[in-house]
Amino acid sequence: MKMSTRGRYGLTAMLDIAMYGELSAVSAKDISERQDISVTYLEQLLGKLKRAGLVKGTRGPGGGYQLNKPVNQIRIGDIVRVLEGPIAPVSCVLPSASPKECDKIARCAMRVLWKKLGDKMSEVLDSITLKDLKDEAIALQGKKKVRHNYVFNI
């Protein structure tokens, strides 16, 4: 599975909100400036995350985005699934896969490998929370003696 910009930028936006949105909403413009991501693209991603219930948005002056759940309850796997779809290295291991897609689906040894790989990917992504990433970002920034200007590698 190769993560697209949708997934990478969406994770970056969620981490930015986790870092800056505890006390007040974070505007897409502020995220855009800190993370060097187009505001238009961010709004699309944040709209998906809002519809999935991971963030809440407030309009008007002082508006923006905040997490809709505690930071320790948002799994990275949940964010990735919203933005990228099911976590699978190949389509034949998706629950919706059928013999129409591949006539070897019932007797394919490679499919067993791909299924195990997909399960492990999900396991890792679901074992890490946004809090874990936030703590890591703070620790890494602390080593550089830089505070309050978190920029994440996208």
What pLDDT tens digit does each residue of the chain (154 aa) get?
788 999 999 999 999 999 999 889 999 999 999 999 999 999 999 999 999 999 999 888 888 999 999 999 999 999 999 999 999 888 888 877 777 777 787 788 888 899 899 999 999 999 999 999 999 999 988 765 444 555 565 5
CA-to-CA distance for 129 and 75, rounded, in angstroms? 4
CATH code reported for the domain at 5-85+129-143: 1.10.10.10
Show the tokens assigned to 88.
């699978």
Reported pTM: 0.86
